[in-house]
Amino acid sequence: MIEPRQRLPVTPRTGRFLVLAGVFICAACGLVYELELVALASYLIGDSVTQASVVLSVMVFAMGVGSLLAKRLRCRAAAGFGLVEAALALVGGCSAMVLYAAFAWAGDRGEVWASGSRYLFVVFSLAIGVLIGAEVPLLMVLIQRVRRQDAGGAVADLFAADYVGALVGGLAFPFLLLPWFGQLTGALLTGAVNVLAGGALVLGLFGRDLSPRGRWLLLVVNAVVLTVLASAAVLVDDFERAARHAVYGSGIRVAVHTGLQEVVLTGRDRESLHLYLDGRLRVSGHDERRYHEALVQPALRGGRHQRVLVLGGGDGLAAREVLRHTGVRRVDIVELDPAVVDLARHDPALSDLNGHVYRDPRVRVTHADAFRWLRGPHRRVYDVVVADLPDPGITASTQLYSQEFYGLVSRVLTADGRFAVHAGPAATRPRTYWTVDATLRAAGYRTEPYRLTGRRGAHAAGPDRTADPGEAPRDWGFVLAARAEPVLGAARGAAVLRVGSRAAERLRPPDWRAIEPSTLVHPRYAD
């Protein structure tokens, strides 16, 4: 259907340009909302592949629904588009704050709400998807009113502007909005741009299509949305502090976004200190020593240990355990986030906990991704490699628990070297734990799985999520690996390995030999 041309305050050429500019801006905002939901779902719930798939698939489905619903608004396309953009700006702009508030103040109420939080992401994905889907049919009507053209040409123009806008929004989210404004303010700013662009296009270009009452209604709606977004932006810092206190407690001393992750440090002494990375408890002062001793001691007692490589472990606690052994001449730490190392160097409580290891001249730090660093040229080999890395159940970490990664480690390991790996809790996620063992064996290692029981409550050390309301027994799981069986035999002199091996053996599944290894193209860490 070719819409009749309407009398405009500008020339048709200028009007067409303004409509396409509106398409461009609205498409950029829409993609920012999508990416914001994906990033927030990954941070608050975890398992980024699953969350991204759910959010994006639900949103694409909802866009189809929105396109169908928009057919009913074609007779009032200008007013409909203005109201759709106002609603989209309000829902998309406030989505991050609402979801973070639900996580902070209701996320630890038990398993019922834990499932409910996932449904809340689906609700926002549906709502935003429906509103985004309604845009193009309405814009199709509006651009035909500016200048008559065949439907194919109008669709081509609209989708060209839409796709270019999506490109700009997709690039602006990680490179501009996140590092400069953060998730909450970035979403609010996007909403403000969205409502201003939609309101300006309708009121400025198609205002004559609206009745006086309709123009005032649209003005009031846009003003209310802008007021809500502006008020939220003014209060966002106070809101974020209150939400952090709800999540981490009132003893927060450090809370920073480093560009790679959120780092939060609570407590003022060794016993009360807690270090969180992206919402996961990474260090707990009252039992971190047991975790790090179990990770490091068996590997170092199994043979020579003059040169030790620590992958991860920027908090310095694994290096502290390494330096307790005589004969250590060099410890290289490969840590991705410089802010973690800086905190471990200068924070009084954390540096006291790690024994001020960064003052030791034997300790050297390289800030790099462990996988990329291992792929680079290396002349130095190590007697011991310690992988103090995030939990393998976290999607972003699966690369560091792949067969390819373990193959790269073997390149820097001496013939009689030992490789100690944190493999996640064996009792609560056994499939993930034994997949680590299977992956190491597939990479050519002989393995000795072991576990440390008696992990204390939900405030345990190690790279797991903070909240764990279940009553299942808690533990830490490790695997000691070497190229030859005699090397492992020498390491079995460590008491923690003797006891821990028997504890792990009791959990060994009957089909453990049939468990498939995890690779880059086929990650298998999911229970």
User: How many Cα atoms sit within 13 Å of 149 on the Cβ side?
Assistant: 16
Neighbour count for residue 257 (Cβ, 10 Å) = 14
C-alpha–C-alpha distance, residues 264 and 104, integer Å: 14
Q: Is 315 assigned to a binding site? A: yes
Q: Is 51 assigned to a binding site? A: no
DSSP state letter for 509: -
Look up residue 35 and give its two tokens. 């990416």
C-alpha–C-alpha distance, residues 496 and 452, integer Å: 8
C-alpha–C-alpha distance, residues 80 and 72, integer Å: 9
Q: Cα separations (Å) of 132 from 19, 144, 163?
A: 16, 20, 13
Q: Is 335 assigned to a binding site? A: yes
Q: Is 262 assigned to a binding site? A: no
Look up residue 276 and give its two tokens. 């969180």
Neighbour count for residue 476 (Cβ, 10 Å) = 27
C-alpha–C-alpha distance, residues 270 and 312, integer Å: 21
* Contact between residue 121 and residue 55 where contact means Cβ atoms under 8 Å apart: yes
Where are any strands of DSSP class E within 297-445?
307-312, 330-335, 363-367, 382-388, 413-422
Catalytic residue (choose from 388, 391, 437, 464): 388
Give me the phi and psi of 459, to 5 degrees please: -105, 45
C-alpha–C-alpha distance, residues 265 and 253, integer Å: 6
Our answer to whether residue 437 is catalytic in this structure is: no
Which among 425, 443, 466, 333 has a CA at the least distance from the CA of 387? 333
Ramachandran area for residue 325 (φ above 0: left; ψ -120 to 50: alpha; else beta)? beta
Neighbour count for residue 415 (Cβ, 10 Å) = 9
Q: Is 47 assigned to a binding site? A: no
Q: Cα separations (Å) of 271 from 178, 274, 283, 344, 459?
A: 34, 9, 11, 16, 11
Q: Is 150 assigned to a binding site? A: no
**Binding-site sequence positions for S-methyl-5'-thioadenosine:** 261, 335, 369-370
**Binding-site sequence positions for spermidine:** 292, 315
**Which residue numbers are catalytic?**
388
**Binding-site sequence positions:** 261, 292, 315, 335, 369-370
